[in-house]
């Protein structure tokens, strides 16, 4: 939950706020309605004291929008009516991020105008792609769903992407991670408008964590980018079949039939990782699967993943996932 900061404390005490939730075709209906309810709870908790929250749902027309799953979302305003909105919120949009900007050009224009007049822009999950189209995130940190992190990096290289974080508050723009992070975003915005006490009380009513945890445990596994380098693909296949074996650069270069320096350069170009990083990631992914689906001990899993030192493997696992193997099993394990 973000601190509104000293420069905004007087503002939060004296003015009413208009939060505009933007509904577009295919958006996540639970995020729209869930945010509406969080804002309504917060406004009720202020008990008539301090600034009021005025919340509208804006769409291309002032009728309704068909969200993901065919659910209708009633709209109370049009996009062009948002000149005076204090905060504009973009929910997750289910679909290909590559087509979001072209499908929602009017939304991008609306966000650009909001940025120009100093309104706060906020988004969850794929909604961050639309905010990034305005350029407001250039040079700033942001988060989005880990599912599309590589695509986001390619499209918006000037944005400092932090997909390990569930919430990133950069003042003028606030972004949240994967789909269910919309509640984290709602709490951050409530804290900005009504102060941390109301945000905390809202979190208690909703029985949700006011200090959202990292998304890092959800970042793995991820597919290796497709590439045309046949020699590197041979090495990738060999590593996948020999996870427990020692994989020094010389032996891997031998599998590829390349000199060591050429192999290292081509491997990083093709995969985006060094051979050591690639191997460590695959071993951690294998451990994650075992922790999810078996009752093997941490020591047994460590050995099966090619390590003899349980302590060093625990350190590697925590570095890549943000939590210990035991914590991961308690959160994601489904074996009995």
Please check the confidence at residue 316 and state whether its pLDDT lies above 80: yes
Task: Give alpha helix (H) positions in 134-215.
Answer: 149-155, 182-194, 196-206
User: Does the pLDDT of residue 91 top 50, yes or no?
Assistant: yes
Q: Which residue do the tokens 């990292």 mark?
A: 214
Residues 114, 85 contacting (CB under 8 angstroms): yes
- Residue 131 is inside which H or E element, if any? helix 127-133
pLDDT at 62: 77
> What pairs with residue 174 in β-bridges?
122, 169
**pLDDT confidence tier of residue 275, bands split at 50, 70 and 90:** very high
Cβ neighbours of residue 17 under 8 Å, at least 6 residues apart?
Answer: 51, 52, 53, 54, 86, 87, 193
Nearest alpha carbon to residue 146 among 95, 219, 216: 219
Among 69, 62, 66, 70, residue whose Cα is nearest residue 20: 62
Instruction: Residue 215: name the closest of 315, 331, 314 by CA.
Output: 331
> pLDDT at position 218, please?
55
Coil/strand/helix, residue 159: coil
Q: Where residue 175 falls among pLDDT bands split at 50, 70, 90? A: very high
pTM (2 decimals)?
0.67
| Residue 12: predicted pLDDT | 41
pLDDT at 4: 41
Q: What is the DSSP string of 49-116?
A: -SPPEEEEEEESSSSEEE-GGG-EEE-SEEGGGGGG-SEEEE--B-S-GGGHHHHTHHHHHHHHHHHH
Q: What is the mean pLDDT of residues 315-322?
A: 86
- DSSP 3-state of 261: helix
Distance CA 184, CA 154 (A): 26
Shortest CA distance to 75 belongs to which of 41, 119, 33, 30?
A: 33
pLDDT over threshold 50, residue 21: yes
pLDDT tens by residue, 186-209: 999 999 999 888 998 999 898 887
Q: In the chain, what are the domains?
A: 6-218 (3.40.50.880), 230-332 (1.10.10.60)
Average pLDDT, the chain: 87
Q: Residue 176 belongs to what H/E stretch?
A: strand 173-176
Note whether 25 and 102 are within 8 A (CB): no
From CA 202, how far away is CA 256, in angstroms rounded? 57
């Amino acid at each position: 939950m973000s601190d509104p900061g000293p420069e905004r404390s007087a503002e939060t005490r004296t003015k009413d706020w208009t939060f505009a939730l933007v509904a577009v075709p295919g958006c996540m209906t639970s995020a729209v309605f869930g945010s509406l309810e969080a804002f309504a709870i917060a406004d009720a908790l202020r008990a008539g004291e301090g600034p009021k929250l005025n919340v509208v749902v804006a769409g291309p027309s002032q009728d309704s929008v068909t969200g993901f799953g065919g659910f209708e979302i009633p709209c109370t305003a049009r996009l062009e009516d948002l000149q005076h909105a204090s905060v504009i919120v973009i929910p997750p949009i289910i679909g290909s991020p590559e087509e979001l900007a072209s499908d929602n050009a009017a939304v991008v224009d609306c966000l650009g105008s909001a940025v120009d007049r100093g309104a706060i822009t906020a988004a969850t999950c794929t909604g961050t792609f639309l905010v990034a189209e305005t350029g407001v995130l250039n040079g700033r940190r942001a988060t989005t769903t880990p599912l599309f992190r590589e695509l986001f990096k390619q499209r918006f290289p000037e944005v400092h992407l932090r997909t390990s974080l569930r919430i990133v508050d950069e003042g003028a723009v606030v972004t949240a991670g994967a789909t269910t992070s919309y509640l984290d975003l709602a709490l951050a915005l409530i804290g900005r408008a009504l102060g941390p006490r109301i945000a905390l009380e809202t979190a208690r009513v909703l029985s949700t964590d006011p200090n959202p945890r990292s998304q890092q445990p959800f970042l793995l596994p991820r597919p290796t980018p497709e590439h045309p380098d046949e020699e590197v693909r041979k090495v990738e296949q060999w590593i996948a079949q020999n996870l427990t074996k020692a994989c020094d650069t010389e032996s891997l270069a031998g599998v590829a039939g390349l000199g060591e320096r050429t192999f290292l350069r081509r491997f990083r170009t093709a995969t985006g990782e060094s051979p050591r990083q690639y191997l460590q990631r695959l071993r951690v992914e294998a451990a994650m699967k075992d922790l999810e689906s078996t009752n093997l001990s941490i020591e047994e899993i460590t050995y099966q993943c090619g390590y003899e030192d349980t302590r060093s493997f625990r350190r590697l696992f925590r570095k890549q996932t943000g939590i210990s193997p035991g914590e991961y099993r308690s959160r994601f394990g489904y074996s009995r």
